[in-house]
Amino acid sequence: MEESHFFALLQRMKYIQRWSLMRNTEVENLQGHSLETAMIAHQLGVLRNTYFDGAVDVNRLAVLAMYHDVSEVFTGDMPTPVKYFNPKLRALYGEVEQLANETLWYTLPEEVQPCYEEALLGSSDEYAVLIKAADTMSAFMKCVTEKAAGNDEFNAAYDSIYKRLQDMNLPEVNLFLKVYVPSLTKSLDEMNVSFAK
């Protein structure tokens, strides 16, 4: 088997800073965001299966979400106002993301490439919808914690991202917002977590 640069490239995810055009109280990198998105996606799948008659493979969903932004090891994090400035630019950036994912996929040994095809080259089914919801939820949670820290820089992002979550019209998203998001503004003492029942 030949040498592969795949994991050396993935290691660079920790150097990609998100929210680079905004003042942050806490820096967020792509690697941390990807893990959080995978965890949220897993839970959205669990909620769909448990409460809304879904049949999602939550482990598959989590793995796909883990790789949702890996193209950024080549492109960096394109700020949302730039990425969505106009439809032509968004379409062009989409092509660049796809090319970056293909490039990363080709760094893998040929024998294992099929195992990563869906994660790197994409799917357009309900998994893609849930991953987009998880990615958006991760951004919203960042806004919640920044606002809780007194950072008004995130006020407009909070409003627009919350609207995007509502516009998705996904019951599992609404349930996640109700059950998990309120605790984000609490301290550990306020949560009063009990380790013994």
DSSP states of 135-162: HHHHHHHHHHHHHHTT-GGGHHHHHHHH
Given this model, what pLDDT does residue 55 score?
96
Token code pair at residue 109: 């040994």
Residue found under tokens 């967020």: 28
Query: pLDDT per residue over 170-194, tens digit each?
Result: 999 999 999 999 999 998 888 887 6
Bridge partners (DSSP) listed for residue 29: 17
Q: Looking at the whole model, is its pTM more than 0.85? A: yes
Cα 52 vs. chain centroid, distance in angstroms?
22
Decide: helix, strand or coil at residue 29.
strand
- The pLDDT-based confidence of 149 (bands split at 50, 70, 90) is very high
**Mind listing the pLDDT tens digit for each residue in 29-64?**
999 999 999 999 999 999 999 999 999 999 999 999
